[in-house]
Amino acid sequence: MRALAEFIMRGRLQAALVAFFGSLLPLLSPAAISLVTLNKGLSEGGLVMLWALLPLLMAFYVSELSPMITLASIAGLIVVVAASELLRSSTSWSRTLVFIVVISGLAAIALDVLFTEQADALELMIVNLFSQVQQQLETAFIPGRTFLLGVIGYVIALTSIVCLVLGRWWQATLYNQGGFRLEFHQLRFSLVSAVTLLVGVVVCYFAPQEYSSWAGLLGLPLLLGGIALVHYSVAFYQLGAHWLAIFYVGLFMIGPLSLILVGLGFIDSIMNIRSRLARRPKGL
């Protein structure tokens, strides 16, 4: 991975090649754009993004898949560039994550307004799919437009966060060893941001099921905050990387664990658990 990051940073041509052909692999192209933007700024990152847009625009016109999926990928590239520039200028992960969630939700709504026909086609495809497997799923819920837009916003935000994390890790690997680890361990949110996000999650959770996808979107920053606290605790108590492996396996296999992490991220924003841990002796 370091060799790839070094190749990207050799020059604009190398970065453009990775951005163009990186569309063949998940997350590679936007992560490369993030790395360039973090190091060289918005203008250079924007130029490299244009190369990543070319295969997506071609796919938009010739692919048999839903055009809305391609449009969401294009929106994701724009969000990654904007978020990378914000992180570069502010060095604030909390502000950047909140920005990603807000702009991803607005992007999903904008896509629905500007490309209504494509959104209708995707909704029809999803409805037909759920209708066919409704008996197997043993549920009467068929997602509508509101749920679909929440999913689009969630996917844009999640992929943007993952690519930004990868780009920042690459940057730290090349120029600031250990810098990303320190930044991530200290991730926590202001009281206003934490309360606003949690209220949004709770409202969407108790609203009709159509809004459940928006609860997932709004909970992403606090989820990352909870994960960051787990990473900090493992490092503080010197528990070893295998505990993180167990944690991530549990995160993917145990659904309620993500809700616990959202709550943990909220509590940490209020109580600053790291400072309390630091006053205690290390060890179990």
pLDDT along the chain (284 residues), means of 10: 90 93 87 95 94 88 76 94 96 96 96 88 80 62 85 95 96 90 92 95 90 94 94 88 89 86 93 79 52
pLDDT at position 237 is: 85
Give the C-alpha separation, 235 to 220, whole Å: 23
Give the C-alpha separation, 115 to 67, whole Å: 9
pLDDT at position 119 is: 86
pLDDT at position 153 is: 96
pLDDT at position 138 is: 60
CA distances from 194 to 92, 135, 220 (A): 15, 39, 11
Give the C-alpha separation, 168 to 179, whole Å: 9
Q: If you search the block for the tokens 């409704």, which residue do you land on? A: 134
Are 155 and 102 in contact by the 8 Å Cβ rule? The answer is: no
**Chain segment 75-130, per-residue pLDDT in tens:** 999 999 999 999 999 999 999 999 999 999 999 999 999 988 888 888 888 877 77
pLDDT at position 144 is: 83
pLDDT at position 99 is: 97
Give the C-alpha separation, 199 to 192, whole Å: 11
pLDDT at position 177 is: 87
Are 75 and 169 in contact by the 8 Å Cβ rule? The answer is: no
Give the C-alpha separation, 11 to 7, whole Å: 8
pLDDT at position 81 is: 96
Give the C-alpha separation, 59 to 154, whole Å: 22
Residues, the chain: 284
Report the Cα 115 to chain-centroid distance in Å: 23
